[in-house]
Each structure stands twice: as structure tokens, then as C-alpha cells.
Structure 1
């Protein structure tokens, strides 16, 4: 398969060659952003990224309101060597996250900063607060700030985001982490969500549980979808019928309000036959634990969570946040340095017992 050079790198290469050959002289004006967009049939994001990197190399100077010009002190072909990097400037990488509330994301931020710094990058963090509109704005702002790549932890209810689709079409370096959009072909890093859920439910079925509640946010992103698929597969492989009346997918508008605990409590009160509950996030696990404690006769329900809920004596599926961060940085660096070739990495999980 022939690998294509990223579009923004094609723009850089053409301008760089014109400067080195002398066709563009010191202080000459570079074609405008609109002219480059029309010539290469690309978005403004792609052009901005190309020009920002050329400025970082010291080849061009960008002047607000006037345009981009060949740097006055650049050395041309036939003269002494050209200045190729801005002094003391680490390349910037943007990391967008939906929240800082969960242990998983807190660990990812910590490990991501470590591995980016180790790779010679500086991280800019942006919190989208589970808003697709805020996510789009964050992406635009980060690109305008001159980031050379993006790592994106999508919002909880994301189905389609034009800004992310545009990044993919422009082959701008970016990686989805944890969640991703199925309609966008790009680089992804995820935990083994399906396998983790499969192992958990297989364990519960093996212990003889037949009335297992599945409690989770509504099926609005790939992480929840894949975990739900893992639950179904465990039943199918053991040839045990599923009672989906014991499934509770909490609508996101309720989950983000003060009504979530009452919603889960009402569900559990209406299903007193439940002997075990598998929750697909740590937040849902904490709410479910509170609900079970408040209902007479249901304190002996066996609770297992995807991710550590911080509840004593509760088993959980543990993700490897360190490896996820390391792999994300590795894939991003490959995009920046080499040709564009989308791929997905699935990181193993482990069922942890208290």
C-alpha cells in the first residue's frame, strides 16, 4: 500500500523548497492562507499548522493582519546553513479531555504529560466538560495556538463532530484515546472494553448468578457500546439467555443532574431478584453502591465495576492508563515524523479482586 504524505507536510515541503532554492527571498510574502487553501484544496486548520511549523523552524515570520513572510535572517541556497529551529521552543501537543472527575482520566493526564515530555513535546490541556460544542472550539483554539498534533478523549455522547472529521480528512496528526468515532478512520488507542466486560460477566455466570443487572450510562459512545457487546457475548458463549429487563442505561441528561441516584434506586427497587450488578463506569458504580445500601434486602448484591470506584470489597476491571498514554504518544509521533497510516491499538485490562 502506498502511504500518502500528510497534506500539511506537502504544503511545508513546497514552501521550504522555494525558500531553499531562492525562489522566495528574505522578507518575500508567502501566499495567503486562502490562496494556499485554494491551491491545495485543504482546510484553514491544515494551512495554519503548516505555516506554524515553518515559523517554528525559523523559515517564516507571521505578522498579525499582514500575512506570512520569509524570515529576514534566513540563509538561502549557496550560502551558509539555514536556521531550522526556534530556540528553546518545545513542539506543542494538545490533549482534550471531557472531565477531570474520574481516576482514569486523572491518571491519563499524568502519564500523558510524562510521555510527551519524554518524547520532546509540551502538553496543552483542554477540558471540554462533556460538550461537543466546547470540544470543537478547543480543537480550533489548539490548532490556532500552533500545536503539531492532538490527542482527543471524545465527549460522552459524541456521534459526529465536524472538527474531528476535518482533522482526519486533512490528515492532521491526532489520536483518539479511550473513546472514538466509528465513522472516522484514524489512529485510536482503547482499552479492551469488550474483553474486560466479557471476562467479568463470565465470572459472575460461572459463580451461578443468573439475575445480573447491567447498569451504565446510555449507549452513546464506543466504550459503553463495546462493553455492552462484551456482556452479550458472555451470555451467548455460555448459552444462557439474557434478561434485558435487568439492564439500566441511565440517560445522560439524568446522569449529569442530581436525579441519577434516584433513577438507579428506582430501578433496583423494581428488580428485587437481582443478585449481582455490573456497572460500566466508576461513577455508575458509586451511585449503584449508594442505592443498594439504601434498599432493604439488597446489601448482599455482588457489585463489580469497570474501573476502580474506590469502594471497599468491590472488584473492578483495571485499565492500563500508563500504556494507553505511552501508545498514544508513540502513534502521534509516528504521524508527525512519517507518512499517514491509520491504525488501532487495544490495550489489555485486568479483573482485580479485593
Structure 2
């Protein structure tokens, strides 16, 4: 690590140290890198810190994380790569030698969500003999704009965009619409913007998950999410939860909900925010002891719910059941009950929609919605009557 490393957060220092080891071939392709626990022992930090460092390495396609097995050095020549320095401008290459170049702008990705999206796009790029270039925005609108501009300057033929969190949408996206440039939004759509998109049936998925809890006898259920702030997936999940209440003839009690989680936002890297999220949930569960189940908008929030339950001495699922969207372990009988999104199919379909738009030379607007699947785990059970 360099002379300025001491001024950087520890997760960045660990990331840079491991990156240097990989670049120096101290870890060969396919070789396992140290685990979160091993890095904790080596650097004297918490697992939250080492986890972030490994996630950054995965984000840079330097390692592949395999739940239950560990993290392994990736064959970077065979993976999605950022290629800021290309051998020659595209204009200098003969048309017959050109391969289509598709740009991807994504907030971020990890084992929890996003990696399978990339796998789907990667497979589609191989099938169609195209290149895929990646830029991350970390949910920051200004960085999203810059990423789109850079990819357009690079000469991409089409774009796939995972818009930044919240109510903002980039002026660059509006320019794409006006200029009829081929692009597809993924995981969400933007209200009032005539653009094709691929996303999950969030309404149906949330409805199914909530009805599953109702079928287990739960009536006092807390929904845990980041601030909705006009983010369409969250708004749709809320809609599905309300529909499930109507299905069961149960009144919606939003006092039991907690919509203030910030540590899961892609632009937040401060471990202290995660600590505050857990403390807030502990206080919430103390205030509303009638809660018997929690429905988390994403897997990371479910992990925070487990920490809060542990702090209060609540057993899962005996005292409180937990369900969420997605899980790193998608196998049947996994630890956390979850609604599994079709991420691989979403990524592959988004890529193919961009190609279709380019081939047809038209800007027909299509919204594709894919179903999610309920995967029952060990975190939910029949309600235990309190009192």
C-alpha cells in the first residue's frame, strides 16, 4: 500500500492490498483469496470492513465470490472488463471487423444483488459476439451522467442503464430519448420517460410473500425498507403488500413499518450507518412488541433484522419470522426465506432488447416484467401467539 494509505478507510486499504497481491500474481487465477475471517485476523478489523473490501474486489471483477466456498481470483481476461484504453478508435476499424459494443451503467453489485444480472448480460454478449463495457455510478446521479457521457464518447452502440436510486433521473437519459439512441433500463422504470425496461413483477412478488406470512398466521408484520423516494421497485413492493392485506381483509398498519434504512444505499460506505440502522430497528421492535414477522425489501436489510433480533434475545423463527427479496444462497431450503428475482434472465433479456432496438432501428417502448419465486427457508414459521 502507498504512503497515503493511512488516511484511507480500512476497507479501501485492504482492497488495495489484495488488488496489489493479485496484480503481482501472489494469488493465481482460480486460487482462493483470504476469507473475511482470515482478513479480520490479518488486519485487526471487523467482518463488516473485510466484507466491504471483498465486495469491492468482486465489483472490479478481480475475484468471484461463491457462497459457502469462498472468494477466488477471477480470469479477468474472460470476464466483463472496463476498457478505458482501447487499441484503436472504433472509427479506425473496418466495419466488417467491428463488434457491437454495449455499455452498462449500474449503481453497484454484489453477491446479494446484481452479480447474476451481469452473468446474464455476459452470456448474451458471448452468444451475440459483442463486447460489454461496465461503469458503476454508486447511485450518485452526477456519476451516472458522467458514466453515460464516457460510454458515448467511447463509441458504444447501445446502453443498458440501472438508474440511480431515488427520484432523480439523469438529463443524459432524456438526451438518449430525444436522440433516439438505443437503450434499456433494468430493474426499474422511470415515470414519464418513454424508455424500454426489464424488471421484476415487484407487486406480485411482494403480494405473494406477504400472503405467505398471512398463511402462517402472522397479522402484525413490519415492512423494512430504505426510503421509497419515488424508487419504483420499492413503491411497487409497497403496493403488493397493501394488496395482500386487502386479500386477507387485514387493515394496513404502517406504524409497524420502518422506512429509514440507509446503509443499503450504493452510495453509502460508512459502517457506522449500518450500526445506526440496527439500533433504530432495535428501538422499533421494542416500541412495537406485537410484531411477529418482518418483510425486508432486500437481503442486506434482513441481515440487519437478524442482528436486531439477536440484540433483543428474539429467536428466529420462533419469536420473529423474517422474509426478504433475494439471497446469496438461492437453493431450496436456504437459510432465509426470500422472493428470488430472475436476475440472470433480466440481464440477458435487457441485452437482447438493446440489440433488437439497434437492428430494427426504432425506439419502440417495451416494458418486460419477470416473475419472482418464493424460496422457503429456515427464517419463517407458524406464528407463536404472544402474551
**TM-superposition CA deviations, 1:36-63 (whole Å, max 9, x none):** xxxxxxxxxxxxxxxx98x3774xxxxx
Number of corresponding residues: 275
Counterpart for residue 45 of structure 2? none
TM-score normalised by structure 2 residue count: 0.67
Do structure 1's residue 246 and structure 2's residue 256 form an aligned pair? Answer: yes
Counterpart for residue 155 of structure 1? 164
- Of 176, 187, 193, 1:184 maps to 193
Counterpart for residue 64 of structure 1? none
- Of 79, 85, 100, 1:91 maps to 100
Shift of 1:310: 5.0
User: Match of 1:332, SS?
Assistant: helix
1:164-313 superposed matches below 5 A: 164-220=173-229, 221-252=231-262, 256=268, 257=270, 258=272, 259-297=276-314, 299=316, 300-308=319-327, 310=329, 313=335
Shift of 1:251: 4.9
Separation in 1, partners of 2:282, 2:289: 11
Separation in 2, partners of 1:262, 1:165: 40
Separation in 1, partners of 2:158, 2:287: 49
Shift of 1:96: 1.1
Contact 2:112 2:300 in 1 (8 A): no
Separation in 2, partners of 1:145, 1:131: 21
Contact 2:262 2:277 in 1 (8 A): no
Shift of 1:297: 3.8
Separation in 2, partners of 1:314, 1:122: 36
Do structure 1's residue 327 and structure 2's residue 336 form an aligned pair? Answer: no
Counterpart for residue 113 of structure 1? 122
TM-score normalised by structure 1 residue count: 0.73
CA gap of 1:94–1:296, structure 2 versus 1, over 3 A, is same
Counterpart for residue 363 of structure 2? 340
CA gap of 1:254–1:112, structure 2 versus 1, over 3 A, is closer
Counterpart for residue 142 of structure 2? 133
Two-structure CA RMSD over aligned residues (Å): 2.1
Separation in 2, partners of 1:216, 1:94: 30
Shift of 1:103: 2.9
Do structure 1's residue 145 and structure 2's residue 164 form an aligned pair? Answer: no
CA gap of 1:252–1:162, structure 2 versus 1, over 3 A, is farther
Shift of 1:286: 1.1
**TM-superposition CA deviations, 1:140-174 (whole Å, max 9, x none):** 00000000011011122243321111111211100
Counterpart for residue 73 of structure 1? none
Separation in 2, partners of 1:56, 1:93: 18
Any unmatched runs of 5+ in structure 2? 1-88, 378-387
Shift of 1:102: 4.4
Shift of 1:278: 0.5
Separation in 1, partners of 2:111, 2:233: 15
Contact 1:130 1:155 in 2 (8 A): yes
**TM-superposition CA deviations, 1:156-197 (whole Å, max 9, x none):** 224332111111121110000002211211100001111000
User: Match of 2:134, SS?
Assistant: strand
Q: Which has the larger radius of gyration?
A: 1
User: Match of 1:188, SS?
Assistant: strand
